[in-house]
Amino acid sequence: MASVFSSSSIPVSALTATPPAAFWTDACFNAMVDYYDYFRRADATSMALACRQERSALEHCSAAIYASEWAAAAARRLHPPAASKIHVVPFGANLDPRYDREKVHALIDARPADKCSLLFVGVDWIRKGGPIALETARLLNASGLETTLTIVGCDPFGAKPPPAFVDVRKFLSLKRSSDRQTLCDLFSTSDFLIVPSRAEAFGIVFCEAAAFGVPAVATATGGIPTIVTDSINGLLLAPSANAGDYAVAIRKVFNDRGRYMDMARAAYENYAARLNWRIAAAAVSRIIDK
């Protein structure tokens, strides 16, 4: 919040003093250029100004906190002298049921072993890799594994009816208690969150899936690898991977019940240790205290 004072009412020392400053964000501008499509619309002058402003912020702050290693690396490239004051603290889950370990293990145990339930959550169908998620579900069904895909956040079919294996829920708001409960129910009963993003600065939805013990199936791009560790608490595929690759990876884990259980429980442990706002806020507080 900015304040405006008469210069006659403030001592000169107060005007020249520079208070410590810190910021916490999910991206560095120079990493977003040529990554998110809409950043390409900016002209050269605007891009140069934005990078200059961000470099100035890195130069003058006491701490620059980023949500992922990807963003932090971009900041180090932009302004190497700031490297010592750059930190990484992941964001937390906004949809947070605060279930304990016993509750989440019960949810995992209750998931059927003969039917695969995929959940896609995203408003931007294309950037979030929706077409790949849809084709993955179709291929899994074609291979003999009964699979459903629930789509939250958008309706890519418009006036056309979706395939029989797809359930479209459109946009659900965390501000409405009924929508929050619906989302909790969907996460609780899903086997995997599948969001094969083409570009992703962070992806809070991956934190939210982990809160329910749901492994994420995603792309090794942007900030996602800071959240998901391949074959440990989820699956990360290369940006070049196609729906066939996703279907094979999912089926391999789903058919190995022991491996799936371990991955789902590891997802929850990742949430409990790193991906909630209580832990994140405490980490930021420690950085600022220094």
pLDDT in tens, 237-266: 999 999 999 999 999 999 999 999 999 999
pLDDT in tens, 43-57: 889 889 998 999 999
Give the CA radius of gyration of the chain. 22
Q: What pLDDT is stored for residue 16 in this prediction? A: 53
Q: What pLDDT is stored for residue 34 in this prediction? A: 87
pLDDT band at 19 (very low <50, low <70, confident <90, very high): confident
Q: What pLDDT is stored for residue 17 in this prediction? A: 58
Q: What is the CATH architecture of 101-275?
A: 3-Layer(aba) Sandwich (3.40)
Percent of the chain topping pLDDT 90: 86
Please list, in sequence order, all residues whose beta carbon lies within 8 angstroms of the beta carbon of residue 279, skipping any fewer than 6 positions away: 92, 273
Q: What pLDDT is stored for residue 40 in this prediction? A: 84
Domain ranges of the chain: 19-88, 101-275
Q: What pLDDT is stored for residue 214 in this prediction? A: 98
- What value does the mean pLDDT of the chain take? 93
Point out the least confidently predicted range of 18-27, 270-279, 280-289. Answer: 18-27
Residue pair 233/239 in contact by the 8 Å Cβ criterion: no
- What number is the average pLDDT over the span 127-141? 98
pTM of the full structure: 0.91
* Structure-derived torsion over alpha carbons of residues 18, 19, 24, 27, reported in degrees to the nearest 10: 0
What is the rounded CA–CA span in Å between residue 118 and residue 102? Answer: 23
pLDDT in tens, 69-84: 999 999 999 999 999 9
Q: What pLDDT is stored for residue 6 in this prediction? A: 35
* Structure-derived torsion over alpha carbons of residues 246, 249, 250, 256, reported in degrees to the nearest 10: 170
What is the rounded CA–CA span in Å between residue 114 and residue 132? Answer: 23
Q: What pLDDT is stored for residue 10 in this prediction? A: 43
